[in-house]
Chain A
Amino acid sequence: MSKVKVANQIKETANSVRNKIQRKSKPTLSFPLRSLSNVTYHPKKGFLELKGKKKIRTLTVATVKTFAQTLRMMSQAKTLVEDDEIMTKREAYYVSKNWDDARFDEQPESDTVIDDIEGLFEVNREQLGFIPEEKGGEIAGKLIVIDRDSDGGKPLRIDCTKFGSGAYSIPSSVEHLKFETKAKFVLAIETAGMFQRLVKHNYWRKANCILISMGGVPTRACRRFIRRIADELKLPVYAFVDCDPYGMFNIYRTLKVGSGNAAHINRYFCVPNARFLGVTPQDIVNYKLPTHPLKDVDIKRAKDALKNDPFVQHYKPWQDAIKQLLDMGVRAEQQAFAVHNLNYVIEHYLPEKLAARKTFLP
């Protein structure tokens, strides 16, 4: 969505509020409801989409403070868009300190309001000028990223094979990047530890791939980055995460179909063609991995996924995998392969799995 369009949309909303006030009725703002109960999974589109349930915030005595804060934040967004400026969520929180009584006491309050505005206009917050604080993940392997020089806008070619034992960091905004590659697939890895091992032994050369460290749940920028590589370079994406409900549904599911909380922007921030390489519950059996018992939160999360997650409900193999995990009552980490040999994962596990890509979970 272009900046002019965003600015106009903000103005339109402000006008509707004003008109209501002039007609002596209570102004309202309507936001999409941000929860798993308000999303559906469209296998064709490939991401979690809003069902369209709205929460309407009417200006009343109880809501007057949030209402005022939302409008002031909208005004701030309009200024950012018009001035082509950016602001982190933390900075937005500090700017609000000028608003006297309407200021935010804690950052989570201002974050919520920003998320609301994002939903209100169905854009991502980067388009409103609000950028996240979070870091986006790391890249190593056969990828050339074409960025722009921040001074003159001259193209900058960044070869991700040339970082030695380090890695290329995904910037917070990735829309302007271009890519070149000769790799055959993308391997998205949960932990920095496993990423380090693969980089150390130049696994990307051996397997002819791009390695990405997600560092837990992938950030929006990371998801967007992977999505663009996958779309523009036509590469398959494989996820390599821990075998527990967190790795499966918080990390992998979010990577593939987006989150329930920010469903209004999932269309940009998902990687529908991602596949689940491992670690699967069956891998625990096959590779005799050391395990830990499932914690209560794990069990709760798994049951919740079975019951409420539209993605899981759509895929029988996932339901079977969860049931298998719950029956086993254990979880295993991706670094558990070290029990056999430090480089067992490079020498045996990954090659064996990659040889049977048909068995990957959807």
Chain B
Amino acid sequence: MAKVTKTRAKSKKKAPKKAAKKTVKKKRCVSIKTKSKVIKAATNAHEEAPGKESPRHSTAEDMALQQREISVAEFFTKNRHLLGFDNPRKALLTTIKEGVDNSLDACEEAGILPDVKVFIAPGTEEDRFRVTIEDNGPGILKTQIPMIFAKLLYGSKFHRLKMSRGQQGIGISAAGMYGQLTTGKPISITSKTSQNKPAHHYELEIDTKKNEPRIILDETIDWPVSRGTKVEIELEAKFQKGRQSVQEYLEQTAIANPHVSLEFATPDGEKQVFKRASKQLPVHTREIKPHPYGVELGVLIKMLHDTQARTLQSFLHSDFSRISSRVARMICEQAKVSERSRPSRIARQEADNLYKAINQTKIMNPQTDCLSPIGEELILAGLKKQIEADLYTAVTRPPSVYRGNPFQIEAGLAYGGSLPVEGLARVLRYANRVPLLYQQSACAMTRSVLNTAWRNYALQQSAGALPSGPLIIMVHMASVWVPFTSESKEAVAHYPEIIKEVRLALQECGRRLSLFIRRRRKAAESERKKAYIEQYIPHIAIALREMLELNERQEHTMVRQLTDVLQRSRS
């Protein structure tokens, strides 16, 4: 499910171009529905089991009567906690995250530097808020608006190995649906694709039974912007400051996305602007084929069966990334399978050998143009923009692979300055540029931070705890496929490759940090020594003046000469 929603988030804005893909998506929906149905059926069977006294057992036919399709919208309505709508506070954050991430994806896709505005206004009742997210993106075609905003699982990227944002686990339509469920108010969308065209204004509801949009209002209005999209949702929510708040999310987003300008207004009317620190948009990423190291035996067998290649060699070469004909030949030799054999005729035993041969052959890392790391320079820019510190450092590791999925780890540190000296370091986690605010302790990134021996880098650290000191540690994982521990997409799973890469990045940062801290300590020490010398030199001069009956001028000369002698010896 995690996957589905992620895909959706990205796809919505691009949907106009690919109406055709809809069918594919629908198929996906169906598969999920089927799954749910099975679960439901199982539940029924279970309920029936204890009722042994009941004279009548259900027959397969009875059961068939009860088995019916469940709309994905109905499923999400019942299971909204899976999608980040557990409580009113988190619902507000999830809604805004979804909206902002959609906006950023759309802007970046269109090559526009994003200007995103987030407003939270008091709603019609006390525990309700009206959230507005407005961007300067490419806009959305009129015909696509209802589908994107009022139909769940409308996306395009589920099957593609390509880096995308979409961490939140639910599309904006889920947010709209949540609003509709808690307040009864429709989602309101205004969008404009170019200066010369009128803006479209929609008010939409989801028909949760059919998972289809219901149009409440459809009009053309005058909107004094050149282009962009504005989404308004009224929902039951709780506005809070501090940890895991909307503000923290925006602040952390600003750090990892220095090319973004964010404007934020709270229900109390407070305004905050996160200014843009760079005009450099993230590099466009490419879709890739799977890397052989990450493919499991079952998948390999399936791929062998499905491929259109005629020979094993060409199959390896064309269906995987980073396998040249030469490497393909080496793999075949190693597996003792003819390179000319037909892929679909490969027997199970041979497939097993092939699988082993792949893992014994040295294959280049997957190409990196499918990843778009933030980059050391921009991490520094982001940190400097939001955090006042004395030392900033960042490391972008070379791409690596877990289970055949390329990923890249970046780490950044900010130390000293206005950061609190007391207490533990703060860890900022990102997956594909999106801040992860929940489940810190379950995350592989946190594990790596904890397992790094910070004491080697001139910091204090109690056993099993974060290092302490005026420190912010930032970790970013960019990948075509971020392995989350659960549907809520809040923590990265503990793959050894990921933990290792994070550790290496942190260690590099740590080395720079320790250099800085030691240098600073040395400077402080040297300053202290200087003061110390200056404290006692006059006494030497006084004593000598007394013993040798010198005059004051001679005493002063002596102080100067002594200071020279000692300073020289110090350096």
Contacts and interface: CB of A to CB of B under 8 A. Distances in A.
B566 A60 contact: yes
For chain A, give the interface size range: 20 to 34
A22 B543 CA distance: 16
B539 interface: yes
A320 interface: no
Contact of B558 (A11, A21, A25): A21
Interface in B517-571: 529, 532-533, 535-537, 539-540, 542-544, 546-548, 558, 561-562, 564-566, 568-570
B174 to A, nearest CB: 68
Contacts of A26: 565-566, 569
A10 interface: yes
B558 A64 contact: no
A25 B562 CA distance: 9
Interface centre among B532, B533, B536 (most CB of A within 10 A): B536
A174 interface: no
Nearest to B549: A11
For the complex, would chain B's binding face be called helix, strand, loop or mixed by DSSP majority?
Answer: helix
A102 B540 CA distance: 9
A75 B536 CA distance: 16
A68 interface: yes
Interface string A40-60: 000000000000000000011
A308 interface: no
A15 B548 contact: yes
Contact of B543 (A59, A72, A101): A72
Contacts of B565: 21, 24-26, 59
Contact of B566 (A17, A59, A102): A59
A99 B546 CA distance: 13
A101 B539 contact: yes
A65 B537 CA distance: 8
B536 to A, nearest CB: 4
Interface centre among B529, B532, B533, B547 (most CB of A within 10 A): B547
A71 interface: yes
Nearest to B530: A61
A61 B546 contact: no
Contacts of B562: 21, 59
A18 B544 contact: yes
A74 B547 contact: yes
A14 B547 contact: yes
A72 B546 CA distance: 9
A188 B568 CA distance: 57
Contact of B569 (A61, A65, A100): A61
A60 B569 contact: yes
Nearest to A77: B547
Nearest to A10: B547
A68 B570 contact: no
Interface in A46-94: 59-61, 64-65, 67-69, 71-72, 74-75, 78-79
Given A21-B558, A101-B535, A101-B536, A71 B564 contact: no
Interface in A295-342: none
A71 B566 contact: no
A71 B533 contact: no
B548 A14 contact: yes
Contact of A75 (B547, B561, B568, B570): B547
A75 B539 CA distance: 11
A117 to B, nearest CB: 12
A24 B570 CA distance: 14
A102 B536 contact: yes
Given A71-B540, A72-B542, 14 more contacts: A10-B547, A11-B547, A15-B548, A17-B540, A22-B561, A24-B568, A61-B529, A64-B533, A64-B536, A67-B536, A75-B543, A75-B547, A78-B546, A78-B547
Interface of A: 10-11, 14-15, 17-18, 21-22, 24-26, 59-61, 64-65, 67-69, 71-72, 74-75, 78-79, 99-102
Interface of B: 529, 532-533, 535-537, 539-540, 542-544, 546-548, 558, 561-562, 564-566, 568-570
13 contacts: A18-B548, A21-B562, A24-B568, A26-B565, A59-B540, A60-B566, A68-B536, A68-B539, A71-B544, A75-B542, A75-B547, A101-B535, A102-B539
